Structures are given as C-alpha cells and as structure tokens.
Amino acid sequence: MRSVRAREPRSKEAPPELIVITRAYDLVRELTQRVVKFPRDFRFVLGDRILNNVYDLLDLLIEARYTRQKESALQRANLRLEQLRFQVRFAYDERFLSHSQYGSLCERVDEVGRLIGGWRRSRLERSHRLRPRLPERSPVTEEPPPGRRRPPTRLPPRYPSARTRLTDLLGLRPFTSAPFPPPGALRGHEDAALGPA
C-alpha cells in the first residue's frame, strides 16, 4: 500500500498579475452590461469605444503576463485605462449611467489602476534589487575603475544678456563680462554699425 504524503497547503494569495487580470475581466463584464443599455445613437459610437478600450486593456494585461516586454504592455494598458476613465465620465455626464452605476464603475476602474501601478512598481523594485551596485567613490579624488573613463567636466553655459548679444552682433565692442556701457558711450559708433559705405 502506498503511503500518502500530506501536501503543503498552497499560498492563498494569487500573484498580483492574476488579480489585476481578474479585476479587469470583471470590469469588462460590467461595462458590457451597461453599454447594451445606452441609447442607440451612442451605443455604436461611445459604447463601441468604451468596449474597445476595455477589451484592449484586458488584452494588454494578458500580454504583459506572458511576455518579456512587460513594461511597455503595462504602460499601454495604463493609457487605455485613462482613456476609459474619460469615456465613462462622458457617459455619466450624458446621463447614460446612473449615479450608482457610475460610482461602481469608477471604483472598479480605480482598483484596476492601482493594481497596474503596483505591478509596475514591483517590477521596478525587482529590477533595482537585481542590478549590481558599483562601489561608491568620491567624484574628484578617486580614479575610476579600470576600463572606465571619467566623464568630461562640463561647465555651465554662459547666457549673455540681449543687449550684450546685440552689441556683439553689430561689432561695437568685444564680448566681455563687463557691464553694458552707460548711455551715450556708443554715440560715435552709429556709422560703424552700418559698415563700410
């Protein structure tokens, strides 16, 4: 007779990716039920846009779950969600949704948005933990590690005043950081600004 080994209980929490996909699926179902009741004139314009965005949102979340380019898919999903927010708000403003329906949809949209944001933050934190850290060093006194060059030191650019640039363009005086000459000091140079006759 075989011995029966007790299995370890599985963790009750699902991965965050599955939770956000499940919540997005619930949002798709609720919006599909609401859009069917829109007036005919708006069902095929606004209703189709809302449904296309929510279906695209679900597709992008599933794509992010199973591809290596998760960040770009999550970013596009976030954009679709933002478009969906405004479309649902427009439907409420046009009185296609009751106050309670709008409140319920807003809660679901916000929950999906928080879950997407959490998924993106967790990926960012994970990538920072996995990235090897270089030893800290003083920027001036220590030499860079072998094989690395020190970046060139950049000085801040000079931004001369408009008056200084104008006098430089006209060739009235060389560019210096001295203050602009007092009024009347350039009176004898009017002809020099025009050039040779």
* Lowest-confidence region among 5-9, 127-131, 152-156: 5-9
Mean pLDDT of 78-105: 95
Give the alpha-carbon dihedral of 64, 65, 70, 73, to 10 degrees: 10
pLDDT band at residue 140, thresholds of 50, 70 and 90?
low
Q: All domains of the chain, ordered by start, with CATH? A: 16-130 (1.20.1440.60)
- For residues 21 and 58, the answer to whether their CB atoms sit within 8 Å is yes
The string of pLDDT tens digits covering residues 59-90 is 999 999 999 889 999 999 999 999 999 999 99
How far out from the chain centre does Cα 87 lie?
A: 20
Residue 82 · residue 90 · CB < 8 Å: no
Q: How far apart are the first and last CA of the chain?
A: 117
Q: Is the pLDDT of residue 167 over 60?
A: yes
Cα–Cα distance, 77 to 127 (Å, whole number)? 20
Query: Whole-angstrom Cα distance, residue 20 to residue 110?
Result: 11
| Residue in 89, 123, 102 with CA at minimum distance from that of residue 34 | 102
Q: Check if the beta carbon of residue 80 is closer than 8 Å to that of residue 50.
A: no
Take residue 180 and report the two structure tokens written for it.
């602009």
Q: What pLDDT was estimated at residue 97?
A: 95
The DSSP 8-state label assigned to residue 187 in this structure reads: G
